[in-house]
Amino acid sequence: MRILYYIYQICIALPILLVLTILTALVTIIGSLIGGAHIWGYYPGKIWSQLICFFLLIPVKVKGREKVKKKTSYVFVANHQGAFDIFLIYGFLGRNFKWMMKKSLRKIPFVGKACESAGHIFVDRSGPKKILETIKQARGSLKDGISLVVFPEGARTFTGHMGYFKKGAFQLADDLQLTVVPLTIDGSFEILPRTGKWIHPHKMVLTIHDPITPKGKGIENIKATMAEAYKAVESSLPEKNKGMILNDDQEVE
């Protein structure tokens, strides 16, 4: 069966998904230029992600959607198991949002330009001025129910375990006094681990945890929210993936 899936993956699924990716990027770019980046930057990507999971025969389950309210802006923070985290959240979170991503992703053909056109937020840590520009862009986007999704580890795991959380997303939530919602991704690592070359069909589960409302403002609120979010995310991981392991490429803050 595995060999048959590899043949299907190479000969049928991946060519279809390559065409879908280019079409989705073009629709997003053109639609955003016409107007309504909040619409064109979300719905084409959502459909694209759902189709990717469909064509690759990957089942998805979402738990806890009832915990978040419509027309409310949140900062969603999730563990980063692998490349398929993108498709799971984009396709199945059910909330219009902007990604906060590394500025290096802007260089990906088609996809980088589409993300820029859609108003997703590229993090530039080259200096205080650039960081302030990032915060300003986020502040302008997070309104009217538009949320933000961040992988606070900053990099995909090598082992399936979580690394430590960087404080950037929590600092932004504190500054804007927004509620943080932890997300647990389980199963993405088994589909395509960071060092893997082949896609393996496996069920993905997205768990939406209880929202964490601000309990003040400042460093103590940031630390408390970060600790609570980390605990919540880890709680829904299988035992084999619990316990922090520092990623080799995580920069120590």
Structure-token match 């056109």, residue found = 117
Q: What is the pTM assigned to this prediction?
A: 0.90
DSSP 42: T
Q: Supply the pLDDT for residue 246.
A: 80
Q: Which helix (H) or strand (E) holds 100?
A: strand 97-102
Measure the CA–CA gap between 157 and 160, rounded to whole angstroms: 6
Q: Supply the pLDDT for residue 42.
A: 93
* CA nearest to 180, candidates 94, 75, 71, 65: 75
Q: Supply the pLDDT for residue 109.
A: 82
Q: Supply the pLDDT for residue 216.
A: 92
Handedness of CA 144, 176, 126, 181 (dihedral sign): negative
Structure-token match 């802007």, residue found = 106
Q: Are 116 and 135 in contact (CB under 8 A)?
A: no
205 strand-pairing partners: 61, 186
DSSP assignments along 182-229, one per residue: EEEEESHHHHS-TT--S-----EEEEE---B---SSSHHHHHHHHHHH
Residue 191, both tokens: 């589909």
Question: Taking all residues of the chain, what is their mean pLDDT, rounded to a whole number?
Answer: 90
- Please report the domains of the chain, with CATH numbers, ordered by start residue: 2-241 (3.40.1130.10)
Handedness of CA 17, 90, 171, 225 (dihedral sign): negative
Contacts (Cβ under 8 Å, ≥6 apart) of 175:
135, 139
Name the stretches of the chain with pLDDT < 70: 125-131, 248-253
Tell me the per-residue pLDDT of 80-115, one tens digit each, with 9 for 90 and over: 999 999 999 999 999 999 988 877 777 888 888 888
- Compute the CA torsion angle 181, 173, 154, 223 (nearest 10 deg): -90
Residue 153, both tokens: 């580890």
Measure the CA–CA gap between 56 and 49, rounded to whole angstroms: 11
Measure the CA–CA gap between 226 and 220, rounded to whole angstroms: 10
